[in-house]
Amino acid sequence: MSSLPQTRSAVNQPISINIPLVDARNGAAPAILDQLRAKLSPAGDVVSPKGRELTQKVFGEPLAPAAVVDRICNDIQRDGDTALLRYCQALDGADLDAASLRVPAAELQQAHAAADPEFLQCIRRIAENIRTFQSAILHQDVTITPKPGVNLTQRYVPLRRIGVCVPGGAAAYPSTVLMTVVPAQVAGVGEIAVVAPPTKFGSYNNDILATCHELGVTEVYRMGGAQAVAAMAFGTDTVPAVDKIVGPGNLFVALAKKQVYGDVDIDSIAGPSEVIVIADETANPAHVAADLLSQAEHSPGSAILISWSQSLLDATLAALGEQLATLERSDLTLPSLEAYGALILVDDREQARQMTDAFAPEHLHIQCESARQLATSIRNAGATFIGNHTPVALGDYAAGPSHVLPTSGTARWAAGLSSNDFVRSGSMIEFDQTGLENIADDVELLATKEGLTAHRRSISIRR
């Protein structure tokens, strides 16, 4: 493994990048992928120096993230609003009381009225894209009559109340409101509470509030982080408890969701964003570089290129340096790319397939010949983007599937958020006398084998 510097000679000239270049033909790739996975896992410690300093200030000791979350959750479960407001002040600098925790309806209306009309039209178009896809995949009740006198139904019932976490630390994300709220609405969820940090990018952001109002969300709270997750999970005098919590967030949000799971359902325990791009010499290096940077700019965000073309790797490296020089968030994107990125040279498509399946990326973008064929051969990816005209940003913003996706290797068994995550299924079983008689002997025999005579009698008494 080596690091390739891309020289910078002047302002707006290519920025120097020390990104790992891995020759996987010698078997080195699994090691670096394992290292990246460990660093990006929610079980890791991806906390900024500023975050560590704040932990020391608030808690008086250098607690690990899991210990911070444990203390916050326990305090809010015990003390409710008192602890919630204390943490909003200590962690976010928000001087709130119980009355100001919830965004007033008038403020939502005002934000909508003041919003850019083009922005609102954009929100409407994207919401319709999401509704179309989420409606098409929503589970429907199924009833079968496998034998005379037997009716079996699988029923799907929408959840009563859910909570949505919207990030707001470094940027505003109205797209997250769309990608979480609209699938829940398609499923028929009755009550949706949105939480966003009390910052200019969160619950004080006009675009966030306008999007909520456009979608008909009336319950928005000025809180974020682990304290918001705990408040929604356990409930307080001001914040009614929810049945499920969804939406992305930082490490503390992920760990809080992990801790409250069981008291409520959650969508996932997500780590930082990640993408694997598989590309060959037919791909445009500028496009590949743009796709890698679009994930790295989340900071932290993992951006990995796998190719069997050395020329494509070299050209992409050059394009990364050129494009970084023009990015507004280059100061955040560069360290993210260097710490969590890699350019990997493999023997062929099959090695690329095996490596990708092992990593199980959140996003997979395939830009090579026979891209669809390769895509269908890869089992483990949260969302797959096929071809040169399908950048990951389409899925992040507008295509229709939710951008809330499994990270940290969980795409081996987990799926992206969808309308089906907001319904609960249950079976309905109905037999008449004929149906009972036809199956009674089998039930009585098995109950006898297990020594459960009351079970057997509940059948025989009806014969």
Tokens representing 78 are 């015990």
Q: What pLDDT is stored for residue 43 in this prediction? A: 65
CATH of 2-41+271-400, one of 3.40.50.300, 3.20.20.100, 3.40.50.1980, 3.40.50.80: 3.40.50.1980
Q: Is 362 a catalytic residue?
A: yes
Contact between residue 166 and residue 177 where contact means Cβ atoms under 8 Å apart: yes
**Pairing outcome for strands 244-246 and 161-165:** parallel
C-alpha separations of 360 from 263, 357, 411 in Å: 29, 5, 5
The pTM for the full model equals: 0.91
* Angle, alpha carbons 175-38-393 (nearest 5°): 25
Query: Which residues, other chains included, contact 322 with Cβ-Cβ below 8 Å and sequence gap of 6+?
Result: 14, 289
Task: Please tell me which residue in 287, 363, 365, 403 is annotated as part of the active site.
Answer: 363
CA distance 313 to 315: 6
Number of Cβ within 10 Å of residue 85's Cβ equals 24
Q: CA 123, 125, 131, 136: dihedral to nearest 10 degrees?
A: -150
Give the domain 98-270 fold. Answer: Rossmann fold (3.40.50)
DSSP characters for 31-48?
HHHHHHHHHHSTTS----
CA distance 342 to 350: 19
Q: Of the given ranges (121-125, 218-222, 320-324, 436-440), which has the lowest mean pLDDT?
A: 320-324
DSSP characters for 133-150?
HHHHH----EEE--STTE
Q: Rounded to 5 degrees, what are φ and ψ at 368? A: -155, 175
Which of helix, strand or coil describes residue 246?
strand
Query: Which residues, other chains included, contact 133 with Cβ-Cβ below 8 Å and sequence gap of 6+?
Result: 399, 400, 401
Q: What pLDDT is stored for residue 415 in this prediction? A: 96
CA distance 308 to 283: 12
Number of Cβ within 10 Å of residue 60's Cβ equals 8
Tokens representing 111 are 């934000």
Which of helix, strand or coil describes residue 20?
strand
Per the annotation, binding residues are: 273, 295, 298, 363, 396, 450, 455
Task: Please tell me which residue in 297, 362, 403, 444 is annotated as part of the active site.
Answer: 362
The 150-158 sheet, strands edge to edge: 142-144, 150-158, 423-431
Q: Rounded to 5 degrees, what are φ and ψ at 63? A: -70, 145
CA distance 232 to 114: 29
Contact between residue 212 and residue 143 where contact means Cβ atoms under 8 Å apart: no
Per the annotation, binding residues for Zn(2+) are: 295, 298, 396, 455
pLDDT at 47 over 90: no
**Start-to-end C-alpha separation, the chain:** 74
Q: Is 389 a catalytic residue?
A: no
Q: CA 329, 335, 337, 339: dihedral to nearest 10 degrees?
A: -160
Interval 325-378: pLDDT, tens:
898 888 888 888 988 999 999 999 999 999 999 999 999 999 999 999 999 999
Q: What pLDDT is stored for residue 131 in this prediction? A: 98
**Stretch 63-80: mean pLDDT, rounded?**
96
Which of helix, strand or coil describes residue 336?
helix
Number of Cβ within 10 Å of residue 413's Cβ equals 9
Q: What pLDDT is stored for residue 10 in this prediction? A: 43
* Band (447; pLDDT cuts 50, 70, 90): very high
Strand stretches in 74-190, DSSP E: 142-144, 150-158, 161-165
The ranges assigned to domains in the chain are 2-41+271-400, 98-270, 432-460
Tokens representing 110 are 């005002």
Tokens representing 105 are 């309806």
Q: Rounded to 5 degrees, what are φ and ψ at 326? A: -105, -5
pLDDT at 29 over 80: no
Domains 2-41+271-400 and 98-270 share a fold: yes
Interval 372-388: pLDDT, tens:
999 999 999 999 999 99
